[in-house]
């Protein structure tokens, strides 16, 4: 927790005329009211209001907002009262604290009718004084940063509420940085596997491609210098949730995503913004359909910027935002820029919007207390700019990702409707099935008996539900053909293993492999979703184990009687890999993997090369291999990783910490294995572990024999 002096200093950095005495009084009052209260983490409760106040200083907000943050839980959670806060700190601060208290008590994740009413109350509180929601957003951000101390079910509830309500609201208010962090923190709770998968791929990408952000930033700066334009260039990789959402919307693998990096160019005047745009487009080819000019047509929350996407270095798509420094202040703070202070004076930013006018654009036209559904729908249409809400002929609202088509709409209603869809009407007009839907459109699906999904539909739809249903329908049509092929493949595999292919054997194998029945097993084998060899191995694992034990001292063929053998430390070859021996005077023969970089040193010494191969049979688990792991810095993770390796009959002979970060540890593990298949089993198990961000076999060409 930061100290009282530090908080005062943070405020005085941007507002030298702040009321230091009142801030200190609020600190002492809040600390006294919360004395004896503790958070789920065990910390004193007052650490939370202080952290919320510190967050709000980053937006350079006024004294009243900072003091409200220090007191925001006093009326709700302590013996403090509205009248006492008003007497000590004034009516304005008491009203703000009371407003935050009422927001805290709203159950925004309740049923739709109740949710509509509570969101209405939230917006009414915002319309009275928008600083109430600024404190509440900072409160939610700190709670999400420290959510790990809550019960799992409470974490999920808070994360879902944050993703559905608070993150979109922060974005709608122009506070994009807060929206991104709230989404990412919620994503970490709601779908940790997907988030860790994206982080693993980022680590791999950075290892393979190096510091792409630095190189592209240097390219942009060089181009601006050539044009004589003064500007600052900032670049970053996009947040995991932003990338995952784009992957879901476009149904693309990570490797096919191009614009995963974003860059900002900040200059001094609007004229220079357009000069920057000209310089960028003159140097790199603009991507059609990816240009937006929010300087000439600002958003209602005051946001101004030019957005463009170009094909940059190595053909990578690069998203660029161009704005002035004043525009950037509003882009960072959004509607909150209205209260920003600098040198003790309210910041006169010409682009900061009047909060009262902004909130009216969100709520105008919905004064009836009875029209909850329409109100909720209107608010969601306003806040969820990345989603599309369309209407069925009966008036039902169907929520879809942006870019969705009538086919996605059909499958969202029911799989049967989607499978039999032949055409669609949008707002009464017949349209192609690949038409992209827009907010508020009415969609009517036309079906026909006997219609079946077409393979081309996979490329039309964007939702996972529709794609899954189409693939399942197509697979069912091919099931009979795949079943005949699978039966023949299984017959050959069972004959090779010396076993009979019987209905009972297939039923048992299906059960062992978690497949519904023998018919489905045949179809999956025929469709190459599972190998016939794997089916045999599931039933008769002893077939692959009934092999002679191999002596670890001489596990390879090709050595002379008097030659000793050892594995090269650079590539650490394993049984099952192709190997080459290199003779060393006094050291015997050292085995390298066929693709080891060290072999290049011996290209002009063919007399030292020996053709080696691993002996057939069962090798003992004595062959050390080094693994590089990146794991999340959470309690119990290292123990789970070690237990997982032990469960796969592998022994850890050495462990070293290479790097320690607040979120991740990077480790080097020495693991003793039987061979390359054993290595693949261990790697697969580790990759499936949620807390493992990356795992890879380490091969160091600098370690010469």
Give me the active site residues, please. Answer: 76-77
Q: Are 109 and 155 in contact (CB under 8 A)?
A: no
Cα Rg for the chain, rounded, in angstroms? 32
Q: State the DSSP code for 657.
A: E
Instruction: Please state, in angstroms and as integers, the Cα–Cα distance from residue 618 to each residue in 294, 552, 634, 674, following that order.
Output: 67, 10, 38, 8
Cα dihedral 473, 477, 483, 485, rounded to 10, equals -120
CB count within 10 Å of CB 300 equals 15
**DSSP three-state, residue 398:** strand
Tokens describing residue 184: 């990412």
Q: Mutual orientation of helices 176-190 and 192-209 as an angle, nearest 10°?
A: 110
Candidates 534, 552, 684, 532; CA nearest to 617 is 552
Q: Are 134 and 56 in contact (CB under 8 A)?
A: yes
Instruction: Please state, in angstroms and as integers, the Cα–Cα distance from residue 340 to each residue in 27, 63, 140, 353, 541, following that order.
Output: 21, 10, 21, 12, 70
Report the distance separating Cα 201 and Cα 55, nearest Å. Answer: 31
State whether the Cα torsion 423-427-429-433 is positive or negative.
negative
Q: Are 92 and 64 in contact (CB under 8 A)?
A: yes
Q: Are strands 261-267 and 317-324 parallel, antiparallel or unpaired?
A: parallel
Cα 49 off chain centre by: 29
Report the distance separating Cα 618 and Cα 608, nearest Å. Answer: 29
Q: Are 50 and 97 in contact (CB under 8 A)?
A: no
Report the distance separating Cα 433 and Cα 460, nearest Å. Answer: 8
Q: What angle do CA 465, 469, 474 make, to 5 degrees?
A: 150
Candidates 615, 559, 568; CA nearest to 596 is 568
Q: State the DSSP code for 364.
A: T
| CA contacts within 13 A on the Cβ side of 694 | 20
End-to-end CA distance of the chain: 53
Tokens describing residue 321: 């935002």
State whether the Cα torsion 496-498-503-508 is positive or negative.
negative
Give backbone dihedrals phi and psi of 253, rounded to 5 degrees, phi first: -75, 160
Helix (H) and strand (E) counts for the chain? 27, 22
Q: Are strands 285-286 and 292-293 parallel, antiparallel or unpaired?
A: unpaired
């Amino acid at each position: 927790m930061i100290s009282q002096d530090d908080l005062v200093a943070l405020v005085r950095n941007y507002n030298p005329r702040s009321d230091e005495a009142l801030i200190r009084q609020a600190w002492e009052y809040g600390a006294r009211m919360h004395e004896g209260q503790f958070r789920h983490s065990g910390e004193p409760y007052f650490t939370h209001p202080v952290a919320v106040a510190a967050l709000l200083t980053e937006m350079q907000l006024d004294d009243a907002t900072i003091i409200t943050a220090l007191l925001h839980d006093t009326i709700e959670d302590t013996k403090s009262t509205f009248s006492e806060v008003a007497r000590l700190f004034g009516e304005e601060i008491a009203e703000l604290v009371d407003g935050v208290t009422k927001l805290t008590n709203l159950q925004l994740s309740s049923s739709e009718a109740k949710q509509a009413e509570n969101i209405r109350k939230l917006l009414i509180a915002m319309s009275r004084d928008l600083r109430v929601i600024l404190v509440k957003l900072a409160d939610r951000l700190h709670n999400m940063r420290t959510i790990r101390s809550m019960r799992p079910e409470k974490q999920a509830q808070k994360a879902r509420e944050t993703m559905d309500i608070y993150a979109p609201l922060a974005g709608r208010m122009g506070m994009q940085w807060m929206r991104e962090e709230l989404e990412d923190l919620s994503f970490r709770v709601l779908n940790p596997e997907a988030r860790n998968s994206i982080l693993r791929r980022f680590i791999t990408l950075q290892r393979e491609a190096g510091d792409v952000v630095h190189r592209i930033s240097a390219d942009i700066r060089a181009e601006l210098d050539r044009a004589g334009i003064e500007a600052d260039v900032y670049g970053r990789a996009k947040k995991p949730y932003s990338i995952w959402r784009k992957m879901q919307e476009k149904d693309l693998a990570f490797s096919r995503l191009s614009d995963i990096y974003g860059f900002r160019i900040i200059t001094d005047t609007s004229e220079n913004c357009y000069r920057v745009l000209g310089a960028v487009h003159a140097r790199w080819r603009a991507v059609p359909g990816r240009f937006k000019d929010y300087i000439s047509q600002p958003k209602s929350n005051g946001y101004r910027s030019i957005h463009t996407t170009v094909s940059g270095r190595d053909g990578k798509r690069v998203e660029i935002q161009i704005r002035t420094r004043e525009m950037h202040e509003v882009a960072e703070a959004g509607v909150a820029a209205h209260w920003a202070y600098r040198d003790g004076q309210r910041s006169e930013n010409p682009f900061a919007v009047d909060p009262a006018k902004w909130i009216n654009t969100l709520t105008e036209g919905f004064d009836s207390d009875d029209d909850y559904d329409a109100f909720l729908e209107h608010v969601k249409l306003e806040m969820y700019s990345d989603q599309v809400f369309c209407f069925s002929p009966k008036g039902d609202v169907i929520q879809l990702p942006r870019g969705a088509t009538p086919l996605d709409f059909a499958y969202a209603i029911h799989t049967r409707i989607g499978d039999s869809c032949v055409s669609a009407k949008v707002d009464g007009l017949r349209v192609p099935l690949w038409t992209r839907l827009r907010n508020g459109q009415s969609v009517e699906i036309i079906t026909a008996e006997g219609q079946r999904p077409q393979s081309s539909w996979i490329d039309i739809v964007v939702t996972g539900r529709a794609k899954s249903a189409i693939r399942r329908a197509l697979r069912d049509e091919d099931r009979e053909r795949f079943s005949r092929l699978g039966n023949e493949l299984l017959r050959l595999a069972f004959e090779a293993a010396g076993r009979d292919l019987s209905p009972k054997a297939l039923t048992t194998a299906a059960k062992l492999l978690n497949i519904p029945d023998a018919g489905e097993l045949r179809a999956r084998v025929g469709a190459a979703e599972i190998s016939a060899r794997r089916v045999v191995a599931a039933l008769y694992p002893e077939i692959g184990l009934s092999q002679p034990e191999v002596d670890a001292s001489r596990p390879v063929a090709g050595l002379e009687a008097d030659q000793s053998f050892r594995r090269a430390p650079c590539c650490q070859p394993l049984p099952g890999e192709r190997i080459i021996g290199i003779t060393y005077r006094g050291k015997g023969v050292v085995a390298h993997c066929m693709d080891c970089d060290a072999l290049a040193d011996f290209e002009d010494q063919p007399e030292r090369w020996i053709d080696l191969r691993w002996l057939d049979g069962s090798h003992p688990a004595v062959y050390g291999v080094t693994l590089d792991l990146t794991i999340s810095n959470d309690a119990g993770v290292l123990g789970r990783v070690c237990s997982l390796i032990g469960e796969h009959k592998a022994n850890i002979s050495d462990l070293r910490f290479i790097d320690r970060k607040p979120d991740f540890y990077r480790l080097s593990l020495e693991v003793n294995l039987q061979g390359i298949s054993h290595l693949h089993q261990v790697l697969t198990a580790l990759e499936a572990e949620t807390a493992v961000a990356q795992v890879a076999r380490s091969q160091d060409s600098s370690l010469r024999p």
